[in-house]
Amino acid sequence: MFIRNETSIKEFMRVYPIVSTLVVINLLLWLLINFIGLPIGREFYQWGVGSNYMIAMGDYHRLVTPIFLHGDLMHVLFNSFSLVLFGPALEQMLGKYKFLVAYFGAGIIGNIATYYLGPINYLHLGASGAIFGLFGIYAFMVSFRKNLMDHGSSQIVMTILIISLVMTFMRSGINVYAHLFGFIGGFVIAPLILSNVQPYSPWRNTRRSRRWDDDDSIQFDPNRWNKKRRIPKAIKKNIFWIILGVLVIFGLLGRL
């Protein structure tokens, strides 16, 4: 599910327009605020950064805008890379609108929890809560909709999830509320958006296949990892993606 088969950035953006748009927005806002240094960028940062005090004063847009804002370069790069790694499969399976509901729903739930449970002077920013919401959806699949994920992908997700949750409590400067409640939000939203969802197929919407809605011939084989001739290759892929995912988690936990 997490191995990309697109042959170019252009094809990736065509097949996964929502993930691509979110990544572009994250990077452009970071450049505008931190690199270009225009006054409008600094003003937008002050207007949009998560602030429990300002939310209490009525700035409810701050429950949403921190999802688009990031701190240093590694923060925005790792969050954007995490979205590229874990977002495409869900965008394909859920469709554009359900994916947006899931992503922002989980992120907002994490920010609401931060507001009610965090100190009044707490400041925060980053898309990590929304990304943990994606983990929550995957965790729901592993628990209750096993037909939607192959065994290898389930192992990758659960391994990365366990490591990320442990590291959430081990490192300082982490918005624990956003992580935990973003994950819980994704898990709660999952049964509402997974109805009538087809298993992920890496070839749908690519040039080598027909359109998603017309392609009933491509079926995802959840038992493909159990075939003897595929086991060595699957193990290698699992090890690579688990290591890669761990690196992503360290990036996610570096700063919120």
Report CA 23 to chain centroid distance, whole Å: 11
**End-to-end Cα distance, the chain:** 27
Active site residue 179: yes
Sign of CA dihedral 92, 97, 100, 102: negative
Residues facing 50 on adjacent strands: 124
Q: Catalytic residue among 124, 154, 179, 201, which?
A: 179
Catalytic residue chosen out of the listed positions 80, 128, 153, 201 = 128
Sequence-separated (6 or more) residues with CB below 8 Å from residue 198: 93, 220
Residues 84, 75 contacting (CB under 8 angstroms): no
Q: What torsion, rounded to 10 degrees, do the Cα atoms 38, 40, 45, 51 define?
A: 150
Rounded Cα distance, 94 and 198, in Å:
8
Tell me, yes or no, if 128 is annotated catalytic. yes
Q: Write out the DSSP string of 186-236.
A: HHHHHHHH-TTPPPP-TTTTSTTS--GGG--S----TTGGGSGGGHHHHHH
CA dist 150 and 212 (Å) reads: 20
Pairwise CA distance, residues 178 & 136, whole Å: 12
* Residue of 38, 41, 71, 66 whose CA lies nearest to 52: 66
Q: Catalytic amino acids?
A: 128, 179
